[in-house]
Amino acid sequence: MKFVFASLPLITGFLLDCLIGDPYTLPHPVRLIGKLIAGMEGFVRKKFNDLFTGGVFLTVTVVLITAVVSAAVLFLAYSIHPAAGIITESIMIFYLLAARNLRDESMKVFRAAESGDTEGARKAVSMIVGRDTSKLDRDGIVRAAVETVAENTSDGVTAPMFWTALFGAAGGFVYKAVNTMDSMIGYKNEKYKDLGRCAAKLDDVLNYIPSRFTALLMVLSCPFIRLDGKNAYRIWKRDRRKHASPNSAQTESACAGALHLRLAGDAWYFGELHKKEYIGDDDRAIEPADIRGANRLMYVSSVFMLVFSVLFRYLILSGWFL
């Protein structure tokens, strides 16, 4: 029975995400968290003269509300009946994961780039990256899509599973709230450098272990999809720190090595050029098919994380760590 509680919500949530992805026409709890963050930002800017203090207040408030609401939903569902709890937690985990959405959106870039529609590819990639895309040529557009799939393998799929394995779906939702705050207010520009600093640092902390574990899972996944695991490990070891974030280059470097590509480099954000080191070696020219390769790597790595998450959660529920 403990194995059922450990495995069914995670497996069902993952399969639902793979099959149907984010339901755009239905209310989405992560979008509700986004609205909470936006509302809190307006409140903080009005009430706090010191935006760093206001940012700490915003971060703590959003985390507490998310934790209390998600834990209460789970407690109520499991109190009604174990089956109700499993169904509810499965749906919550489904909402936490973004593998299908990441694949679908990145494959729009692939199809447009493959057909020679550079403007269509640029429009598609602008929906999934934070950088300015107006100056990107076809290779730059494809590279941006590959980088996004690589980075979000952790942020959007494996990290939520990791925190769900530890603390149930409520833990996954707390992680998602912090990650959403980072994506909304965690910029280092004039507008957000003080307000979003606490959220950005907390996001770094929560992603520290999952990003590194995911990079290793990418290396482990390579032989199953005919990619170069040895080179993935070599480039990960060499280039995993070549990013302003302590976590972003972890999965990007493993993916770059697996595909024998050079990723990263300078990029424009909000009209300002940001100097960045290259990740990986320029062994060959990038091509649209590399987006598919990055997605295969994402899916196999996610399956490995699912297996480890189920096992880890079972050990926790069995009291193995006590």
* Residue among 165, 200, 189 nearest 309 (CA): 165
* Distance between CA atoms of residues 217 and 116, nearest Å: 33
The pLDDT of residue 322 is above 70: no
For 275, phi and psi rounded to 5 degrees? Answer: -80, 130
Please check whether residue 59 lies inside any domain of the structure. yes
Q: What is the domain extent for residue 232?
A: 2-317
What SS3 class is residue 128? coil
Q: Tell me: pLDDT of 3 over 80.
A: no
At 244, the pLDDT band (50, 70, 90 cuts) reads confident
- Cβ contacts of residue 63 below 8 Å, gap of 6+? 174, 177, 178, 202
Quote the DSSP letter at residue 186.
Answer: -
Within 10 angstroms of residue 216's Cβ, the number of other Cβ atoms is: 17
Would you state the pLDDT for residue 145? 94
The pLDDT of 218-224, averaged and rounded, is 97
- Give pLDDT tens digits for 270-309: 556 567 788 999 989 999 999 999 999 999 999 999 999 9
Question: How much is the mean pLDDT over the chain?
Answer: 91
Strands 267-269 and 272-274: antiparallel
At residue 268, the pLDDT reads 57
Which residues are within 8 A (CB) of 157 and not within 5 positions of it... i.e. 6 or more apart? 97, 98, 99, 102, 298, 302, 305
User: Considering all CA atoms of the chain, what is the largest pairwise distance in Å, rounded to the nearest integer?
Assistant: 58
> Which of 181, 202, 240 has its CA nearest to residue 58?
181
* Residue 36 pLDDT level (bands cut at 50, 70, 90): very high
> Could you give the percent of the chain with pLDDT greater than 90?
75
Q: Per the domain annotation, does 322 fall within a domain?
A: no
> What whole-number distance in Å separates Cα of residue 78 and Cα of residue 173?
17
Count of other CB atoms within 10 angstroms of residue 15: 13
Q: Which of 261, 250, 254 is nearest to 221 (CA)?
A: 254
In a domain, residue 99? The reply is yes
CA-based nearest residue to 152, from 127, 120, 133, 188: 127
What is the 3 state secondary structure string of 40-57?
Answer: HHHHHHHHCCCHHHHHHH
Average pLDDT in the 67-82 region? 96
Average pLDDT value for residue range 67-85: 96
Nearest to 94 by CA among 149, 153, 161: 161
Tell me the pLDDT tens digit for each residue of 161-216: 999 999 999 999 999 999 999 989 988 888 889 999 999 999 999 999 999 999 99
Looking at the chain, the number of H-run helices and the number of E-run strands are: 12, 4
User: DSSP label at 21?
Assistant: -
Q: What percent of the chain has pLDDT over 70?
A: 94
Angle, vertex CA 37, rays to CA 246 and CA 156, nearest 5 = 45
What pLDDT, on the 0 to 100 scale, is given for residue 21? 85
Sorting pLDDT into bands at 50, 70 and 90, what band is 22?
confident
Q: What is the rounded distance in angstroms from the CA atom of residue 167 to the CA atom of residue 214?
A: 19
Distance of CA 250 to the CA centre of its chain: 13
Residue 302: phi and psi, rounded to 5, are -65, -40
Count of domains forming the chain: 1
CA-based angle 125:241:253, to the nearest 5?
Answer: 50
Which one-letter amino acid corresponds to residue 314?
Y
Task: List, in order, residues 6 or more apart from 168 with CB less than 8 Å away.
Answer: 74, 89
52 confidence band (pLDDT: 50, 70, 90): very high
Over range 38-55, report the average pLDDT.
94
